[in-house]
């Protein structure tokens, strides 16, 4: 029995399979998810609006993986989620929200949260 860290088995397994240069998206509840895309695992953690929060999931994932760099939507700068990401990830680049959505099929893992704050999405690039 796992006592610490991520207890959700599908999420823990997907994180364990990641390697250098793989991409992980932590997504809000409204981001269109790439279900059925070969090579992309979607783990949906959303329970109800706001649960779990974006920040909770991001912190849990950052405790498990090494992040080399990250990308967030340019439009997120005026939202609380951006501050949360910027405080935790040193190498953060801003791209358009449309570009972020266009990159979803190239990611290895998408984790959907229950977050209802607009633009609470980030692409994490795995390091070593």
Q: How far apart are CA 46 and CA 53, in angstroms?
A: 9
Give catalytic residues, as residue numbers. 20
């Amino acid at each position: 029995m796992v006592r610490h860290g991520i207890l959700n088995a599908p999420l823990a397994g997907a994180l364990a399979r990641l390697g250098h240069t793989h991409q992980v998206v932590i997504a809000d509840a409204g981001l269109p998810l790439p279900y059925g895309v070969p090579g992309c695992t979607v783990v949906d953690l959303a329970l109800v609006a706001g649960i779990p929060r974006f920040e909770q999931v991001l912190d849990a994932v950052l405790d498990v993986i090494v992040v080399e760099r990250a990308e967030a939507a340019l439009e997120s700068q005026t939202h609380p989620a951006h501050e949360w990401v910027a405080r935790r990830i040193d190498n953060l680049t801003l791209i358009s929200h449309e570009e972020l959505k266009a990159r979803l099929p190239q990611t290895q893992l998408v984790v959907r949260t229950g977050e209802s704050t607009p633009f609470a999405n980030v692409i994490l690039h795995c390091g070593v």
